A and B are shown apart, each in its own frame.
Chain A
Amino acid sequence: MTQASLRPNAVRGTDLPGSGAPKPARSRRKWSRNPNVERSANEAEGVSRWVMLGILAFLAIYSAGPLWWLIVASTKSKEQLYTTNGMWFGQFSLWDNLANLFTYQEGIFARWLWNTVVYSTLGSVGLTLVALAAGYAIAKYQYLGRGFTMGLIIASFLIPGTLMIVPSFVLFTQMGIYDTIWAMILPGMFGSFSVYLAKVYAEGAVPSELMEAARIDGAGEYRIFFSLGLRLMTTAGATIFLLHFVGSWNTFMWPLVFLKGADKWPVMLGLYSWLERGTDSQYDLTGLVITGSLISTIPMVILMIAMQRYWRSGVTMGSVK
Chain B
Amino acid sequence: MTAMTETAAKPGRSPRGSKTPRGNSGATDGPALRPRAGWRVKQDLKGASLSLPFLIGFGVFTLVPIAMALKESVFATKTSGLGFGKATSTFVGFENFAEALADTSFWAGMLRVFIYAIVVVPLGQLLSLAMALVLDGVRRRVAARFRIVLLLPYMVPGLVATMIWIYLYSPVVGPLGDFFQLFGLDVNFFSGNTVWSSIGNLAIWGGIGFNMLIMYGSLQSIPHEIFEAARIDGASELRIALDIKVPFLRGSLVLTSLLAIIGTLQIFSEPLLFRAVTPETITKDFTPAMMIFNQAFQVGNVNYATALSIVLGVVVGIVSAIIYRFTNRIES
List residues of A whose CB falls within 8 A of some B CB. 1-5, 7-8, 10-11, 34, 36-45, 48-49, 52-53, 55-56, 59-60, 62-64, 66-67, 69-70, 73, 81-82, 85-87, 129-131, 133-134, 136-138, 140-143, 145-146, 149, 152, 156, 158-171, 186-187, 189-190, 192, 195, 208, 212, 215-216, 218, 220-222, 225, 249-250, 252-253, 257, 268, 271-272, 275-276, 279, 286, 289-290, 293, 296-297, 300-301, 304-305, 312, 315-320
Contact = CB atoms under 8 A, between A and B. Distances in A.
Contacts of A218: 13
A81 B269 CA distance: 25
Given A1-B161, A42-B224, A133-B50, A166 B306 contact: yes
A195 B264 contact: no
Interface residues of B, number: 123
B94 interface: no
Contact of B44 (A66, A142, A315, A317): A142
A173 to B, nearest CB: 9
A253 B269 contact: yes
Which one of B29, B36, B166, B175 has the highest number of Cβ atoms from chain A below 10 Å of its Cβ?
Answer: B175
Contacts of B242: none
Is chain A's interface secondary structure helix, strand, loop, or mixed overall? helix
A117 to B, nearest CB: 14
A10 B256 CA distance: 11
A98 B214 CA distance: 37
A260 to B, nearest CB: 11
Contact of B163 (A129, A140, A289): A289
Closest 7 CB pairs of A and B: A4-B263, A316-B217, A190-B57, A1-B158, A141-B47, A86-B175, A41-B224
A182 B309 CA distance: 24
26 contacts: A1-B267, A5-B206, A39-B140, A41-B227, A42-B227, A53-B142, A69-B167, A73-B173, A86-B173, A149-B55, A162-B292, A166-B69, A167-B72, A167-B306, A171-B64, A222-B46, A268-B157, A272-B159, A275-B166, A290-B163, A297-B155, A300-B155, A301-B152, A305-B155, A315-B210, A316-B217
Interface in B75-117: none
Contact of A166 (B36, B161, B276, B305): B305
Given A42-B219, A43-B139, A301-B155, A146 B48 contact: yes
A85 B159 contact: no
B228 A4 contact: no
B119 interface: no
Contact of A143 (B47, B161, B175, B208): B47
Contact of B173 (A171, A253, A286): A286
Interface of B: 1, 12-13, 18, 25, 29, 31, 36, 43-51, 53-55, 57-58, 60-62, 64-66, 68-69, 72, 130-131, 134-140, 142, 146, 148-168, 172-175, 178, 203, 205-210, 213-222, 224, 227-228, 237-238, 251-252, 255, 259-260, 262-270, 273, 276-277, 288-289, 292-293, 296-297, 302, 305-306, 309-310, 312-313, 316-317, 320
Contacts of B154: 304
Contacts, number: 344
